[in-house]
Amino acid sequence: MTENDPEQDTLSKTTEGAPMAIVLGDNRYGKSETRVVRIVRDTDRHTLRDRNVSTSLRGDFVDAHETGDQAHVLPTDTQKNTVFAYAREHGGSAPESYAVAVADRLLAACPYATGAQVRVEEYAWDRIPVGPADDRRGHDHSFVRRGTEARACAVTVEGRGDERRVHVLSGLTQLTVLKSTGSEFRGFLRDEFTTLAETDDRVLATSLTAWWRWGPDHPADFDTAYETVKATLLETFATTYSRALQETLHLMGKAVLEAQPALAEIRFSAPNKHHFVVDLSPFGIDNPGEVFHADDRPYGLIEAVVRRDDARDDAVAWRDVPGFC
């Protein structure tokens, strides 16, 4: 007789008699990538929130792992239903506000959970321009997907009542930017495997992922805050000279923190999307920085945090946010 199931299966590695030295460590569970679209149609001029929502719970779920007893487990199917149901009341607001509402609800529904994390990716749509050339306006209910990037947030709520703590990260992924000049790379460390030539004029391109963490004072309007941070990131990238992607990211982070006092830190993950000047000299053609090969792999990957000196650490906020130093 095995501890698992005597009738249906055949593995029987008995562990009886031995001191049970093997234990459950950290764990979480949830429902990932519920694709919910919320149309706000209070007037004929509709608005659209197009989201990919992932939820997870941490807490006392030992029995589910060790004995298969599900009494503490709020099913991931229920978490999905909650994502949809809460989209009805809260889905028209900023993703951060919606995420807080869902996280609070999951904690209320599952007393065995100690923390809930809700992550949202939001995809932007523009109104389709219609009308005569001298009076173009955005259509009331017809939209076209904008940009390659996704807005993102990751909200973690821990505790209840007086113990309740809300950790809010906002961010974006896949913001793809390129400078066709104003970038150099030289003066680097060399060893016997170094063949790279120094350059004082190169293409700099990245597909940026950035997350910024709000301190205790959240902005009144997360939507406006997002647009402002994104504009600062873009403008700093555009208007600063780059001695390395590291320096550019640092300048971008500083500019954001200077403009947004409520932010504690910002983190970047930035692939250096290499654009190699093509050697056309075998064909008797010069190439003064005009024809490039955009390579796929490998790529440099730069990850860095820019933070206020006095900001307290917040490991809980960043836990489970993938792909970051």
Query: Which phi and psi (to 5°) does residue 212 adopt?
Result: -125, 140
Ramachandran assignment for 257, one of left (phi > 0), alpha (psi -120 to 50 degrees), beta (any other): alpha
Minimum CB distance to a second copy, residue 229 (Å) = 14
Nearer to a second copy by C-beta: 133 or 162? 133
- Is the link from the previous residue into 298 a cis peptide, with omega within 30 of 0? yes
How far, in Å, are 186, 187, 205, 302 from residue 244 at the CA level? 9, 11, 11, 10
CB closer to a second copy, 135 vs 162: 135
Given the residues 90, 167, 179, 274, select the one marked as catalytic.
274
Tell me how far, at minimum, the Cβ of 236 lies from a second copy, in Å.
Answer: 6
Q: Which is nearer to a second copy, 170 or 269 (CB)?
A: 269
Rounded least distance, CB 306 to a second copy, Å? 6
100/208 with CB nearer a second copy? 208
Q: What's the min distance (Å) between Cβ of 262 and a second copy?
A: 14
Q: Two tokens at 267?
A: 């983190």
Nearest to 54 by CA among 105, 116, 144: 116
Active-site residue flag, 76: yes
Cα–Cα distance list, 142 to 45, 124, 135, 208 (Å): 10, 13, 17, 29
Q: For residue 51, give the H/E element and its range.
A: strand 47-59
Amino acid identity, position 262: A
Of the two residues 88 and 165, which places its CB atom closer to a second copy in the complex? Answer: 88
Whether 228 and 260 have beta carbons less than 8 Å apart is answered as yes
Shortest distance, position 296 Cβ to a second copy, whole Å: 4
- Out of 31, 80, 90, 273, pick the active-site residue: 31
Residues 47, 72, 76, 275: which is the catalytic one? Answer: 76
Question: What is the C-alpha separation between 214 and 171, in angstroms, rounded?
Answer: 11
- The set of catalytic residues is 31, 76, 274
